Amino acid sequence: MRKPVVVITGAGGEIGHGLIEQLAADGTRLIVTLDMAPLEVPLAKHVAREFTGSILDRSLLERIHSEFEVDMVFHLAALLSTRSEFSPVMAHEVNVEGTLNLLEFAQHEAESHGRPVTFLYPSSIAAYGMPSLDAKRTAGRVKEHEWTHPTTMYGCNKLYCEQLGEYYARHYKQLSAESIAGRVDFRAVRFPGLISAITVPSGGTSDYAPEMIHAAAKGEPYACFVRPDAQIPFMAMPDGVGALLKLAAAPRASLTQTTYNLGAFAPTADDVRREVLQAFPGAQMSFIVDTKRQGIIDSWPADVDDGAARKDWGFAPEFDFERAFRDYLIPTIRRRYDRNR
Ligand code: AKB
> Considering the domain 3-191+236-261, what is its CATH architecture?
3-Layer(aba) Sandwich (3.40)
109 Cα–ligand 1 center, Å? 30
Is the CB of residue 334 less than 8 Å from the CB of residue 327? no
Closest CA to 75 of 158, 152, 156: 158
* The one-letter amino acid at 304: V
Digit-by-digit pLDDT tens for the chain (341 residues) are: 567 999 999 999 999 999 999 999 999 999 999 999 999 999 999 999 999 999 999 999 999 999 999 999 999 999 999 999 999 999 999 999 999 999 999 999 999 999 999 999 999 999 999 999 999 999 999 999 999 999 999 999 999 999 999 999 999 999 988 888 889 999 999 999 999 999 998 999 999 999 999 999 999 999 999 999 999 999 999 999 999 999 999 999 999 999 999 999 999 999 999 999 999 999 999 999 999 999 999 999 999 999 999 999 999 999 999 999 999 999 999 998 876 66
Q: How many CA atoms lie within 13 A of 245 on its CB side?
A: 20
In Å, what is the CA distance from 161 to each residue of 103, 188, 251, 288? 10, 10, 22, 34
Q: What's the distance, Cα to Cα, between the start and end of the chain in Å?
A: 47
Mutation test residue for ligand 1: of 14, 79, 80, 83, the one with most atoms within 8 Å of CB = 80
Between CA 61 and CA 245 the distance in angstroms is: 23
Q: How far is CA 99 from CA 10, 46, 94, in A?
A: 12, 25, 7
Q: How many CB atoms lie under 10 A from the CB of residue 251?
A: 8
CATH architecture, range 195-233+264-302+320-339: Alpha-Beta Complex (3.90)
| Positions marked active-site | 154
Burial of residue 145 (number of CB atoms within 10 Å: 0-12, 13-18, 19+): exposed
List, chain by chain if needed, residues with CB within 6 Å of any ligand 1 atom. Answer: 80-81, 124-126, 154, 193, 204-206
Asked if 173 and 327 count as a contact pair (C-beta separation under 8 A), the reply is: no
Boundaries of every domain in the chain = 3-191+236-261, 195-233+264-302+320-339
